Amino acid sequence: MQLKPINQQVVVVVGASSGIGRETALRFAKGGAKVVVSARSQSGLESLVKEITEFGGEAIAVVADVEHFEQVKAIADKAVDYFGRLDTWVHVPAIGLFATFDNTTPEEFKHVIDVSLMGQVYGAMAALPHLKREGRGGLIHVSSMEARRSLPYQSAYSSAKHGVDGFVDAMRLELIHDKWPISVTSIKPAVINTPFWNNGLTKLGVKPAGVPPYYDPRLVANAILHAAEHPTRDLLVGDVAKILDVLHRISPQLTDTLLLLVGFQFQRSSGVPKSEDDPNNFYEPVPEHDRVDGDYNHLVIPSISDFIEQNVPLQWGAIAAGSILAFLAAQAWNKS
């Protein structure tokens, strides 16, 4: 399966007004792609398109709410009407609800599912006919490490992310079976420093936070751009995401123990009260949060595994180094 170089692509980025989506749209445009950006926030999209055009990029905006299939379909149709085709669809939007399960209403739980799961479903449904007409392309779904391991206070969000993996895996198999050269990628970030934590509806009495460390949203954008040119099944972003994934596979009980130690305390920011009525994007966008970075820059760390994963020469170097060390260890063992 071969994907076009980024500078030859028409890319749709849904959820582009802030955070990962905004940085991803900027990166695609800087790489020479023609970009269609979408979100609920008209002001966020306008400022993004302005930023892109100022450095010579080409972008158009479509205001849409991913809860509604017809609005999502309109994004794909606009991309094809304006640029003539669609090559890569990147779907990012999700909303956060921070509350215990028994303090979550049925309507709130459903709303998280409608945005964070059904929105992803609608994106794939809207994009696939256009990708099939082109005969190739990529679907990139931004999920979460919570697709592999749920966290307390986030039962609805974790459910949505598990659901994303469910339909993506089934859809990928169907495309392979029917011999469609369409790449389907699930991106699973660890805790990322975006305005997600500002935007979440909280019933905890304080501003919600991620379990540190945090990672730079640019790492996720790197993974998305990598997947847009290199067919990839899954990409976990952030060393902690990979460690937690392995730990959970080995021992879910051990993961439970770890999360009992850190999962409750660290999702409650100390000294920053916040009520359910304070600004959040659960039902409406918050324009002042239309930016890439969140409030936790001081807790951001680098990720070594992501750097290696997206650099093929380094991958081979790591494999070679590991093989040499294993060989030397075996030799030393035999001589002892």
Q: What is the maximum alpha-carbon separation in the chain? A: 71
- What are the tens digits of pLDDT across the range 65-103? 999 999 999 999 999 999 999 999 999 999 999 999 999
From the DSSP assignment, how many helices (H) and strands (E) are in the chain?
12, 11
182 - beta bridge partners? 137
When pLDDT is averaged across residues 240-261 and rounded to a whole number, the result is 96
DSSP string of 161-184?
Answer: HHHHHHHHHHHHHHHHHTT--EEE
- What are the tens digits of pLDDT across the range 42-65? 999 999 999 999 999 999 999 999
When pLDDT is averaged across residues 275-298 and rounded to a whole number, the result is 96
Tokens 């304006």 belong to 82
CB neighbour burial string for 200-237, b if at least 16 within 10 angstroms, e if fewer: bbbbbebbbbbbebbbbbbbbbbbbbbbbbbbbebbbb
Predicted confidence (pLDDT) at residue 328 exceeds the cutoff of 60 = no
Tokens 């469910």 belong to 166
Residues 139/89, Cβ–Cβ less than 8 Å: yes
Q: What pLDDT, on the 0 to 100 scale, is given for residue 325?
A: 46
Q: What pLDDT, on the 0 to 100 scale, is given for residue 321?
A: 47
Q: What pLDDT, on the 0 to 100 scale, is given for residue 313?
A: 58
Q: Which residues are catalytic?
A: 157
Q: To which H or E segment does residue 59 belong?
A: strand 58-63
- What are the tens digits of pLDDT across the range 138-147? 999 999 999 9
